[in-house]
Amino acid sequence: MTDSYLNFANSPVGGKLADVLGLPKPMVLERYKAGQPVIKGSVLLGGGTNAPLLETLAGIFKRIGAQTVAHAQLPQWTPIANQAGLMSGRWGVDGQPGEKVKALVFDATGLVDSSESEALYQFFHDAARSVLPCGRVVILGRPPELCRTPRQATIQRALEGLSRSLAKELKKAIAVQLVYVAEGAEGQLESTLRFLLSPRSAYVSAQVVRVGAPVGEGAAPADWSKPLAGKKVLVTGASRGIGASIAEVMAQEGATVICLDIPQAQASLDEVAAKIGGSTIALDIGAADAPQLLVDAAKADGGWDVVVHNAGITRDKTIANMKEHFWQMVVNVNLSTQERINDALVESGALKAGGRIVCVSSISGIAGNLGQTNYALSKAGVVGMVQSTAPIFAKKGITINAVAPGFIETQMTAAVPFAIREAGRRMNSMSQGGLPQDVAQAIAWFASPASNGLTGNVVRVCGQSLIGA
Ligand SMILES: NC(=O)c1ccc[n+]([C@@H]2O[C@H](COP(=O)([O-])OP(=O)(O)OC[C@H]3O[C@@H](n4cnc5c(N)ncnc54)[C@H](O)[C@@H]3O)[C@@H](O)[C@H]2O)c1
């Protein structure tokens, strides 16, 4: 489904008309193309007086080949950067802003009291107008629940309000995220920073990500452009829409993909699999014997590394009008069967140690939606499943995370009535719907072997939708 208004607002005449009428002017988002660098343009660094992550950051920026400059508040950056072999200079002189930059990264992990928030003001006040379109902002903090004192937990929690407000203020399709890095988990930060600084995260904004202690071994991939090389990935609901895009992105990342969908979708499933050199399984995952059939298939295949639970259905009606079988069908396909499949794959070892489970929730499950009691229950349940099983699966070296898409342009949303569809598209900080590949890229980030510091996370891919914010 194409968004004709997006094209119109980006034409010379349409752009002027949108200005005159005060209509939203969505930008065409920069999206990742194979082989491009993580970031094109420099990164401006800021931080509190105590900024404990600078050495970690210097190492990461060196590996991704990023140019950096430092705000005057961070004189310690230059020697640290030089030590890591990075060229770096000071940004701005005599209180005047410096060059335009592609990203801002602020190390707030050293803040222990709200009276230190001034450093945040200085940095973002000075730099707010200097971020290029489709730029990135990442604030690094410590998880409030792990802080040593109430004062420290308070200022760290406060960062959420700052990051979500910046995401609304900066406009120009600039995405802003808060990453809470647990003490000792600095070595797990790289895959997250690579994702959040790159065009892979085009439609992810105002999110809070928690990077924690490593689950299992994990490893930096030999080739960051093919992090899933040698991995076997099951994608459910792969015959169309978001699932087909996930299968494609997984293959681009180097994986061998097992594409699953219902038997009625066999023809399009075959097409998707043929395009990416994958295999197919035609199966209704709602069937009682699906978990065992998948265990058998995985074992026959030498075990799987990643499972992506993308298959999902809607049967919308207000609860008063809803038939019981519609309730049961949605809860079974979207939630209960996924719980059973996870348990069976993990307990049997068919999902290997170091494995990744990535689920697809929805902002309906976060905000609730009229006519979607069954769907919202199932998608909120996915969040519950992720959070409750993360510590259990971690004991086997397996992570589980979820993405929660907002309005994504697919056949599912094309079926939504026009007025509701337009509202869904525009009511977010990017003033447009996301594309299936935006969801797929977020899933690929969770699926990476280097993402073993990520478990129990739920990240929205919604352009900072106002719904459920
Ligand atoms: N499109 C959006 O805006 C949006 C927003 C939030 C969440 N989501 C979620 O993203 C996922 C994909 O959505 P989509 O828009 O691509 O939907 P879609 O309807 O286009 O695709 C879903 C796929 O799942 C398959 N499927 C359904 N039931 C199945 C079963 N029992 N066994 C095997 N396969 C089954 C379908 O055949 C279909 O190919 C779903 O979980 C959906 O709830 C979508």
User: How confident is the model at residue 10, as a pLDDT?
Assistant: 79
What is the 51 CA–ligand 1 centroid distance (Å)? 43
Other beta carbons within 10 angstroms of residue 264's beta carbon come to: 11
Q: Render pLDDT for 384-417 as a digit per residue (tens, 0 to 9).
A: 999 999 999 999 999 999 999 999 998 878 888 8
Q: Amino acid identity, residue 61? A: F
Residue 1 has pLDDT above 70, yes or no: no
CA nearest 173: which of 207, 132, 119?
132
What 3-state DSSP class applies to 352? strand
Q: What's the rounded Cα separation, in Å, for the pair 150 and 96? A: 37
Q: Which residues contact 285 (CB under 8 A, 6 or more apart)?
A: 236, 260, 311, 333, 337, 338, 341
Helix H or strand E encompassing 90: strand 88-90
Annotation says 5 is catalytic:
no
Strands of 301-345, DSSP E = 304-309
C-alpha angle 141-429-160 in degrees, rounded to nearest 5: 20
Question: Taking all residues of the chain, what is their mean pLDDT, rounded to a whole number?
Answer: 95
Q: Render pLDDT for 201-246 as a digit per residue (tens, 0 to 9).
A: 999 999 999 999 999 987 788 899 999 999 999 999 999 999 999 9
Q: What is the dihedral of CA 164, 169, 170, 171, to 10 degrees?
A: 100
pLDDT band with cut points at 50, 70 and 90 for residue 94: confident
What is the 31 CA–ligand 1 centroid distance (Å)? 23
Q: Which residues contact 97 (CB under 8 A, 6 or more apart)?
A: 91, 126, 127, 129, 130
Other beta carbons within 10 angstroms of residue 461's beta carbon come to: 28
pLDDT band with cut points at 50, 70 and 90 for residue 328: very high
- Give me the residue label for tokens 């980030």: 445
Choose one of 293, 412, 425, 432 to mutate for the ligand 1 pocket test, by most ligand atoms within 8 angstroms of C-beta: 412
pLDDT band with cut points at 50, 70 and 90 for residue 335: very high
Q: What is the mean pLDDT of residues 46-58?
A: 97
Instruction: Provide, for the chain, the percentages of residues in helix, strand and coil under a 3-state DSSP scheme, each rounded to the nearest 5.
Output: 45, 20, 40
Q: Render pLDDT for 243-286 as a digit per residue (tens, 0 to 9).
A: 999 999 999 999 999 999 999 999 999 999 999 999 999 999 99
Hey, what domains does the chain have and what are their CATH numbers? 22-211 (3.40.50.720), 232-461 (3.40.50.720)
Q: Render pLDDT for 141-173 as a digit per residue (tens, 0 to 9).
A: 999 999 999 999 999 999 999 999 999 999 999
Locate the ligand 1 atom nearest the alpha carbon of residue 411 and give its number.
20
Residue nearest to atom 39 of ligand 1 (CA): 237
What is the 157 CA–ligand 1 centroid distance (Å)? 34
Locate the ligand 1 atom nearest the alpha carbon of residue 312 and give its number.
41
Q: Which residues contact 321 (CB under 8 A, 6 or more apart)?
A: none
Residue nearest to atom 44 of ligand 1 (CA): 405
Choose one of 239, 245, 262 to mutate for the ligand 1 pocket test, by most ligand atoms within 8 angstroms of C-beta: 262
Q: What number of helices (H) and strands (E) belong to the chain?
A: 17, 14
Q: What's the rounded Cα separation, in Å, for the pair 112 and 153? A: 8
Residues contacting ligand 1 via CB (< 6 Å): 236-237, 239-243, 261-262, 265, 284-286, 310-313, 333, 360, 362, 405, 407-408, 410-413
C-alpha angle 112-116-117 in degrees, rounded to nearest 5: 110
Locate the ligand 1 atom nearest the alpha carbon of residue 337 and give its number.
31
Q: What's the rounded Cα separation, in Å, for the pair 120 and 17? A: 37
User: How confident is the model at residue 96, as a pLDDT?
Assistant: 87
pLDDT band with cut points at 50, 70 and 90 for residue 418: confident
Residue nearest to atom 1 of ligand 1 (CA): 408
pLDDT band with cut points at 50, 70 and 90 for residue 419: confident
What is the 311 CA–ligand 1 centroid distance (Å)? 5
Choose one of 242, 309, 443, 461 to mutate for the ligand 1 pocket test, by most ligand atoms within 8 angstroms of C-beta: 242
What 3-state DSSP class applies to 467? coil
Helix H or strand E encompassing 122: helix 118-127
For the packed helices 118-127 and 150-169, what is the interaxial angle rounded to 10 degrees? Answer: 20
Share of the chain above pLDDT 70, in %: 97
Q: What's the rounded Cα separation, in Å, for the pair 224 and 229? A: 10
Choose one of 374, 379, 408, 422 to mutate for the ligand 1 pocket test, by most ligand atoms within 8 angstroms of C-beta: 408
Q: Are 403 and 361 in contact (CB under 8 A)?
A: yes
Q: Which residues contact 136 (CB under 8 A, 6 or more apart)?
A: 39, 102, 103, 104, 174, 175, 176, 177, 196, 197, 198, 201
pLDDT band with cut points at 50, 70 and 90 for residue 424: confident
Locate the ligand 1 atom nearest the alpha carbon of residue 243 and give its number.
16
Q: What's the rounded Cα separation, in Å, for the pair 395 and 408? A: 34
C-alpha angle 469-1-228 in degrees, rounded to nearest 5: 70
Locate the ligand 1 atom nearest the alpha carbon of residue 407 and give its number.
3
Q: What's the rounded Cα separation, in Å, for the pair 178 and 313? A: 31
Q: What is the mean pLDDT of residues 81-102?
A: 91
| Greatest distance between any 2 Cα atoms in the chain | 70
